[in-house]
Amino acid sequence: MGKRTSENVLLDIALKNFYGAAEELGLEDSLVEILGNSERKLSVSVPVVMDDGTTKVFNGYRIQHSTAIGPAKGGTRFHPDVNLDECEALGMLMTWKCSLAGIPYGGGKGGIECDPLQMSKGEKERLSRTYAARIEPLIGTWIDAPGPDVNTGGQEMIWFMDTISKIRGKVEPALFTGKPVGLWGSEGRVEATGLGVATCALEFLKAIKKDPKGTTFVIQGFGNVGTHAALTLINAGATVVGISDITGAYYCSKGIDIKKAQQHASAHPKKLLEGFEQPGLEKIPAEELLLLEADILIPAALEGVVNKGNADKVKVKYIVEAANGPITPDADAILDAKGVLIVPDFLANSGGVIGSYFEWAQNLGGFFWTREEYNSRLLHIMKGNFKRVWDFSQERHVKMRRAAFMAAIARVAEAARLRGIFL
């Protein structure tokens, strides 16, 4: 049996973590072969007529890693760095995330290689609808139900859903999740991932018997996830001393006014922190944010931001991973040697997919919950998942990442055993 390797950072992380956990579980070779590969990999060309009349062709992808437990689930990102390997890695991570969360989904992921910040709304709509039409044969309520991801949101999900519904001649709201509340979306979905990240952070503080009051946080990435995580943390009494987005990093030793920062970003044409000010606030190089003095770092942007080049300079004692794969395997080893405790990504950021499951279930049933019902169910699941992984790690004397992988892989492997190999 040969182990796969990849030059892609995120896929390399995903494969190494999978093989390591599978070996520790004693997983049979046949299942290692199956789960170490994706069921389907789709590459599509996405031609778009631009506003200037020219036609540009973009690369689009959709991965279905595993459907052993249920239909594939995973977001769709618009970003210049999107590629097939990245999508496969994220699809694999979604399999483990859904398994760990105990929801009836497998893992998938997709995206388009583009820069949406340089595109008009009309160009993005044409891009979204053409992409949806290209991947339509693989999309279905009980096959693959994508959601939003980096640089996509409710509007894109409606374009996707509407396009495929028109192709099929019937409205299918459960095809995509993350839709606006006014069009089959769910109250609470927007803040679900950030709320889940913050809940894991707070449960972690409870486990190590540390009071949120007096605990300092640095959050890399002030998009949807980072913003709602920060708001939840300050409401619990914690202090956020550093935040960042593509415009740079912002630091205040006495604490950043997160509500003011949110208001500023919401009013900005591109939803950025550019121009944000408050007394005592310093703008610092983005790379320095990861190296600030604080108790907990929450990387909530892209993968591989903590790597062998900067891991030894990280000063925090704890990391809660909001992004997918923000710490490379080399950096993981360095941080472990320094005694840094890490709450892994597919545990901490699973609030989003749990929220997607809620929306999907409501769409299928045609009955919608209140925000209070939604959040109550989400917090219950997140707290239970955290406790299960924490207890497993303490009993087995393994890192939380390894504990989470082992628990998640074991559930998928059992489903694959029961269903067997066919076609």
pLDDT in tens, 18-33: 999 999 999 999 999 9
Taking the C-alpha atoms of residue 91 and residue 15, their distance in angstroms, rounded to an integer, is 12
* 59 three-state secondary structure: strand
Taking the C-alpha atoms of residue 410 and residue 100, their distance in angstroms, rounded to an integer, is 10
Q: What is the pLDDT of residue 2?
A: 77
Among all chains, which residue has been given the structure tokens 């019902």?
373
Q: What is the pLDDT of residue 1?
A: 57
Taking the C-alpha atoms of residue 26 and residue 32, their distance in angstroms, rounded to an integer, is 10
Among all chains, which residue has been given the structure tokens 């060309």?
45
Same fold, 39-172 and 192-348: yes
Taking the C-alpha atoms of residue 103 and residue 78, their distance in angstroms, rounded to an integer, is 26
Angle between helices 351-365 and 84-101 (to 10 degrees): 80
Fold of the domain spanning 192-348:
Rossmann fold (3.40.50)
Q: What is the pLDDT of residue 423?
A: 54
The ranges of the chain with pLDDT < 50 are: none
Q: What is the pLDDT of residue 10?
A: 83
Q: How many CB atoms lie within 10 A of CB 309?
A: 11
Angle between helices 400-419 and 371-396 (to 10 degrees): 100
Q: What is the pLDDT of residue 180?
A: 94
Domain 39-172 has CATH 3.40.50.720: no
403-422 residues labelled b (16+ CB within 10 A) or e (exposed): bbbbbbbebbbebbeeeeee
Residue ranges of E strands in 294-360: 296-299, 318-320, 341-343
Active site residue 3: no
**Active-site annotation holder among 109, 270, 313, 317:** 109
Query: What digits encode the pLDDT tens for the residues 132-164?
Result: 999 999 999 999 999 998 899 999 999 999 999
> Would you kindly state where each structural domain of the chain is located, as residue ranges?
39-172, 192-348
Pairing of strands 55-66, 106-113: antiparallel
